Structure 1
């Protein structure tokens, strides 16, 4: 399948490209924050015998956002680890296409279900206000990492739906043998 970014439905092209840039910015920023935090924790702990108070609590939020935005980016790029042996064994283009439709449809159903469960998790957090769950030391609401989880699943669902749309639009030409 050709790059999804070149095959967006025209009205969605610009907003989806901006969204992808925002996701990449979050991923890169989170990676830098994680690396710098661990660097300073090591310097403080072993250089000065001090500790960075409750860094695990806010670092957890950064890690959740990075993980789920990277998962959505992987869904967009079809860059997830794949142990698909059957795809290498099929040579009939029609069977490849039907199989691709089935796989994309199942993936869409699963990701939409996970996005819905993520929404329920967010809804539960919001409805619990002012008694919502918080981290122990810094009192950071669990809503922050949970929103990253929900948004990640929602974006994975969006990109899976776009892959299915492109596959249907391109017909049998949209399904091809795996490249590796």
Structure 2
């Protein structure tokens, strides 16, 4: 947690192996990450899921196809990927929206597609950057209920970056940041 611009997104980008740290070490699932010699794309594909603030859905693909992208990259067969994508979208309450493109979905529906995509390869950790920023209070509450259910069912660590104080109640641990520094845990 922290104010806008305090470094939350940068921190999860480093932890998620999108950005290289200027100092220190990152460990994922008991393994130290060697940013120069590690296949970071494969690592992200196998162990990390992302839910981006602006969803990052591919506009010309349907909801099911957007979820399948992550599995395709990981090398899953197309028919298996489509079946799993449909199951994940059903799990997040979008069974009636499988073949809708992002422009045909509400903000909350896009966010649920994004969560389904993040879960596609059964990651150890999901980084969610301001997942409630574009949602109204009802959609935010529904999304946080979904996060709790997904965390329990999939045994996945979900790290949520936010400046929204109301989300503290849903956290097992809160890390407070200010001016690029962790100030409390």
Structure whose CA Rg is larger: 1
Give the number of the structure whose residues are more often helix, by fraction: 1
Give the number of the structure whose residues are more often strand, by fraction: 2
The verdict on a shared fold, with TM-score over 0.5 as the criterion, is no
TM-score by length of 2: 0.28
